[in-house]
Structure 1
């Protein structure tokens, strides 16, 4: 699951494009299928979103929640690909993007009535 935070006036117009970019990156770097898209947008009023000096109103925070198992190389490639694709397709500079990957053990995930470590039918690999 991905949670994306940004200033409402900046984030709302690009939600679909940003979702497409993120899913493209997850697919190309980790093999996550398109039908596993789980993106949550949190558009905030400007006075509810504080960000570091030197950033613009385009500042966007992307939190990627996933089961642990991906290699450092895979996670770094994903982060770099996201920076690159957002700048290329949306014109948002990397200085205005913050990406955090949050990993949890598979037994801490619950979906379809089971925990992640019980799922035997995933259409993608976690250990990549």
Structure 2
């Protein structure tokens, strides 16, 4: 399971949200063997004064926050980062220094989905990739 939050300046993020979602989902499907029909993206649009960013970032700076079941390999996670940095730059024009990614993993039993604890769900995909 995975939920993805995307934070950025509203005037920059809104115009690219559909394309960003498509590119991001493609990266997740490829790197984490995620089903194509499962997408949970949430966009958080912030005003300039509400989104402080580190030095060296442009107004295109975004943060991607993944909440997901634990179990993916380090290699799969690194592949995800690589795909995101590459495709976001190539397709969306976002420089790697303007993209920050954090994965927040928790045990499946910490999730409640479709009326069940996450560790009791029957998933149609593998977590241990």
In the TM superposition, structure 1's runs of 4+ consecutive aligned residues that sit over 4 Å from their partners are: none
Q: TM-score, normalised by structure 1?
A: 0.97
Correspondence for 2:125 = 124
Structure 2 regions of 5+ residues with no counterpart?
none
1:80 positional shift: 1.1
Mapped partners of 2:36, 2:49: distance in 1:
34
1:31 positional shift: 1.2
Mapped partners of 1:21, 1:83: distance in 2:
11
Correspondence for 2:64 = 62
Q: How does 1:46-61 map to 2 (within 5 A)?
A: 46-61=48-63
For residue 34 of structure 1, give the secondary structure of its aligned residue in structure 2.
Answer: coil
Per-residue CA deviation, residues 49-74 of structure 1 (Å, 9 max, x unaligned), is 00001110000000011100000111
Q: How does 1:16-95 map to 2 (within 5 A)?
A: 16-95=18-97
Mapped partners of 2:84, 2:112: distance in 1:
26
1:109 positional shift: 1.1
Correspondence for 1:114 = 116
Structure 1 regions of 5+ residues with no counterpart?
none
Mapped partners of 1:123, 1:21: distance in 2:
22
Q: TM-score, normalised by structure 2?
A: 0.96
1:35 positional shift: 1.5
For residue 37 of structure 2, give the secondary structure of its aligned residue in structure 1.
Answer: helix
1:6 positional shift: 0.1
